[in-house]
A and B are shown apart, each in its own frame.
Chain A
């Protein structure tokens, strides 16, 4: 009983499972860091090319769209620097689909830990999301190099647009990862639904087609198109990189980007935060039954 101290120094009597969800995850940063590095190691376990796959995947996607859309649908003529235009979109949809895909599987894949250790279970989808976000850094470097080569000079407004775009994407990706990771425990069908969502996302943003086309064809309905936070993120990303590579950036910005781009971006971020809150709510509701259903 040597350790028994006076009641003043004792830790409080609390519910052992009491967690504050996402906040608790970011309070335990050391554990989160270990989980992230573990995820990175585990994701490429047993693969010969390893980390290279995270470059090959977007690259192959890039080439497919580049040739099919560019040459067959003739977008090279219609859109200036179409490759850069598209790559901005590929980066954003890439983060999102990665977040959703690996986030959804995260809880089920970490069965062993979930059933035996007490830790905030949000840790698993959050780690998966951070890994996905981490993979995007080299892609942005590649994009920036390509842009420099095309005569782009970075501007502070553009960089702010990039940060906002990434924030929106990661927030909405985390919201999806939270919701679907818990739901996937109950019905493994969820991962198939996520596949469909991921396919849809690539066509719901101005990536393989320019925003001007949306403004033209859906005249009056563009607000609906722009309600999608990811569409805003892609447009912000294009503001950050693609616009600066065109012959006349101001002209491009006025025709190829919607008005009030930043206001829309901030609104998209707020919307994403609301969805994230909803995701946390869903996760907390389902969490109780997770260990017994795995």
Chain B
């Protein structure tokens, strides 16, 4: 089995600027206030994911999950260390897809698919499937700027999941959709996982992580807090208490996704 994602001592630091204009910066300097500050979003994280593994990425808000996904996706480059991936990557970062609000749903499907590396013929072949899964109905030819947030994320998920990728990144995908759609998504993601593609699934819902993943990675303030067994990982982030009742009612546990 080959490795699919290698994260090797990856560090990503953001610069926070408190002042934008020259006047503000000068004033702040005169008053000896801080002009800028750095913030380490991902701090020396290392792990390896084998092809076909499905990883649950957990951690509190602001722990660096989305930044880590951006490093894996290639939107950002690590300042230190390296991130290597094998094959085509598709997925969603921070719920929404990169859509252009002024373009129609139809145009955005083509654009988005092209960015993910699909050819025109490939997109056309899968177009109907994508539209059917997204279920945006007559809004297909409406600008996505007018979509409801649910429709927006449904369309984004639909495009991403239909790309033949080797790695699928799902960042809180189930946060916005309604219950029937969440069910559909989970089902589709299970198919993705069972087909041998690598899956990285970010979620706060212990139930769905337990169902989807065979390994959990927990980030804490940008550092790798835990890497290993699913149940132990969920215990580590202390989500296990809530899971007891969630397991009894599967539907509600999907609803617990924030």
Asked whether A and B interact, the reply is yes
- Which residues from chain A sit less than 8 Å from chain B, CB to CB? 1-4, 7, 10-18, 28, 30-31, 34-35, 38, 41-42, 45, 110, 112-119, 288-289, 291-292
Pick the residue among B102, B110, B166 that contacts A11 (CB under 8 A). B166
CA distance A195 to B57 in the complex (A): 47
Pick the residue among A1, A117, A288 that contacts B77 (CB under 8 A). A288
Chain B residues with CB below 8 A from A2, complex form: 195-196
Interface range on chain B (Cβ under 8 Å from partner): 35 or more
Interface status of B258 (Cβ within 8 A of chain A) = no
Task: Kindly list 18 other residue pairs between chains A and B, CB separation below 8 angstroms, not including A11-B87, A41-B107, A42-B103.
Answer: A1-B52, A4-B1, A4-B52, A10-B2, A12-B86, A16-B71, A16-B83, A17-B75, A18-B74, A45-B102, A113-B98, A113-B115, A115-B75, A116-B93, A119-B115, A288-B77, A288-B79, A291-B70
Asked if A292 and B1 sit within 8 Å, CB to CB, the answer is: no
Chain B residues with CB below 8 A from A289, complex form: 15
Q: From A42, which residue of chain B is reached at the shortest CB distance?
A: B102
Asked if B87 and A118 sit within 8 Å, CB to CB, the answer is: no
Asked if B14 and A292 sit within 8 Å, CB to CB, the answer is: yes
Chain A residues with CB below 8 A from B119, complex form: 30
A38-B103 in contact given A14-B84, A31-B115 (Cβ < 8 Å):
yes
Asked if A112 and B73 sit within 8 Å, CB to CB, the answer is: no
Chain A residues with CB below 8 A from B84, complex form: 13-16
- Smallest Cβ distance from A192 to chain B, in angstroms? 13
Q: From A111, which residue of chain B is reached at the shortest CB distance?
A: B98
Asked if A38 and B93 sit within 8 Å, CB to CB, the answer is: no
List 19 A-B residue pairs with CB atoms under 8 Å apart, sorted by A's residue number.
A3-B195, A4-B51, A11-B86, A16-B71, A16-B74, A16-B83, A17-B74, A17-B77, A18-B74, A31-B115, A34-B114, A38-B100, A38-B103, A38-B107, A41-B103, A41-B107, A117-B112, A118-B115, A292-B14
Which 3 interchain pairs have the tightest Cβ spacing? A16-B74, A116-B98, A118-B74
Asked if A117 and B115 sit within 8 Å, CB to CB, the answer is: yes
Asked if A13 and B86 sit within 8 Å, CB to CB, the answer is: yes
Chain A residues with CB below 8 A from B133, complex form: none
- Smallest Cβ distance from B106 to chain A, in angstroms? 12
Pick the residue among B79, B89, B99 that contacts A16 (CB under 8 A). B89
Chain B residues with CB below 8 A from A7, complex form: 2
Asked if A118 and B89 sit within 8 Å, CB to CB, the answer is: yes
